[in-house]
Amino acid sequence: MTINGLLKHRESMLALVIVILIGAVGVITPDFLLAKSLLGAFNDTSMLMILAIGQMLVILTRCIDLSVAANLALTGMVVAMINSAMPGVPIPLLIILAMAMGAVLGAINGFFVWKVGVPAIVVTLGTMSIYRGMVFLLSDGAWVNAHQMSASFIDFPRNTLMGLPVMSWIALGVVVLLFFVTRHLRFGRDFYTAGGNPTAAFYTGINVGQVQFKAFVISGMLAGLCGYLWVSRYAVAYVDVASGFELQVVAACVIGGVSIMGGLGTILGCVLGALFLGVINNALPVIGVSPFWQMAISGAVIIIAVIANAKAERAPGRIILRRAVTGAADVNPTTATAVAKS
């Protein structure tokens, strides 16, 4: 089976699991199957989806962005403060501002990875605490509450358009746009090449560091977008907004079959991974499981998902190792690097 076929297979499996999960919850609480509840669950997952897509691009290039949640909190606080100080600023302008600011914060990560050569995990570990702390420095620890925000600021993601909230439309827009970009544009394919085989990418004339930089900028930009969405949706901005969310974002990618080794993963997988976590988070209260179980269950799900994915990925690698002496000629470059790294 080709890698592509395997991935398709994996995605359809994941989709099937999600459907079964929804069905199982529906058996216990039929109300969960109403279009309203399902669309609600989708809407709840919008931000996780958007962030997971950004994270995927970064992971494709063999990096990781742990600063997305802090970036989200910082941009969210900035737009909330602007809104409370100057309610006249139009919302579209605020969104553009949030995305631009997120992109700059992402570019800082990208700069250190590309130009200075610091490993991504170290850079984003650092910027994660820096951005989070800057929220405190900016706000002095104070909250921006609902009554300080303008009505249009809070209502924007809630307005419905053809039966769906704007927030869901934004998520769909990001999904469709990046689906197209990663499949049909050279700009998007570069992420796969740079991460799948950096040496080959270098010899093909791709600047690997620059591609990593671009991935960080996009991830940051999407985090900025979510910054606005988050504070307006929950109508509050404070220091600990989305604290720890970066790990859920990485988990959504991993469940969706994005390889942490880089070069492997699809937008569809990411979306399904996010939806899977979203359905679980939405279903638990519905079927009457104490919210205290939520964390343990998502942890178990992540582990089971990576084990399932690893089994799918491992098979070709193992064969090469055993036949290292005899069958070295038919080594597939992708799996060969996977073995070398393991």
Partner 1 sequence: MEQVMTRTIPNTLSTPFKRFVFRWETFLLLVTALVFFANTQISPYFLDPWSLSDMTFNFSEKAIIALPMAMLIICREIDLSVASTIALSSVCMGLAAQAGLSIEVICAVGILVGIGCGLFNGFIVTWFNIPSIVVTIGTMSLFRGITYVILGDTVMSDYPSEFAFFGQGYIAWVISFEFTVFLILALVFYVLLHHTNFGRRTYAIGNNPTGALYSGIKVNKHKVVLFTLVGAMSGLAAIFLTSRLGSTRPGIAFAWELQIVTMVVLGGVSILGGSGSILGVVIAVFLMGLVTFGLGLINVPGIVMTVIIGAMLITVISIPAVLAKLRERKGRSV
Site for partner 1 contains 288 (CB under 8 A): no
| CB of 316 vs partner 1, minimal distance in Å | 12
Q: Compare residues 23 and 299 and give the one whose CB is closer to partner 1.
A: 299
Q: Compare residues 10 and 62 and give the one whose CB is closer to partner 1.
A: 62
Site for partner 1 contains 89 (CB under 8 A): no
Residues 6+ apart with CB under 8 A from 95: 225, 228
Nearest to 59 by CA among 254, 272, 317: 254
Pick the stretch among 35-43, 89-97, 185-193, 297-305 that binds partner 1 (CB under 8 A). Answer: 297-305
227 in Cβ contact with 72 (< 8 Å): yes
| Distance, CA of 118 to CA of 111 (rounded, Å) | 9
Q: Compare residues 99 and 284 and give the one whose CB is closer to partner 1.
A: 284
Q: Compare residues 244 and 288 and give the one whose CB is closer to partner 1.
A: 244
235 in Cβ contact with 146 (< 8 Å): yes
152 in Cβ contact with 91 (< 8 Å): yes
Residue 21 φ then ψ, to 5°: -60, -50
Would you tell me how many other CB atoms lie within 10 Å of the CB of residue 276?
Answer: 23
Site for partner 1 contains 239 (CB under 8 A): yes
Residue 316 φ then ψ, to 5°: -65, -35
Nearest to 235 by CA among 164, 144, 167, 169: 144
Residues 6+ apart with CB under 8 A from 127: 67, 70, 71, 105, 108, 109
Longest Cα–Cα distance of the chain, Å, equals 72
Among 50, 51, 128, 178, binds partner 1 (CB under 8 A): 128
Site for partner 1 contains 334 (CB under 8 A): no
Binding residues for partner 1 restricted to 54-83, rule: CB under 8 A = 62-64
Structure tokens at 216: 């960080």
Site for partner 1 contains 93 (CB under 8 A): no
Site for partner 1 contains 86 (CB under 8 A): no
Site for partner 1 contains 180 (CB under 8 A): no
Site string for partner 1, 192-211 (x = CB under 8 A): ------xx--x-----x---
Pick the stretch among 117-125, 143-151, 229-237, 266-274 that binds partner 1 (CB under 8 A). Answer: 117-125
Among 136, 143, 169, 234, binds partner 1 (CB under 8 A): 136
Q: What does the binding site for partner 1 look like in residue numbers (CB under 8 A)?
A: 62-64, 112-113, 116-123, 125-130, 132-134, 136-137, 141, 198-199, 202, 208, 239, 244, 247, 250-251, 254, 260-262, 290, 292-300, 302-303, 306-307, 310-311, 314, 317, 339-342
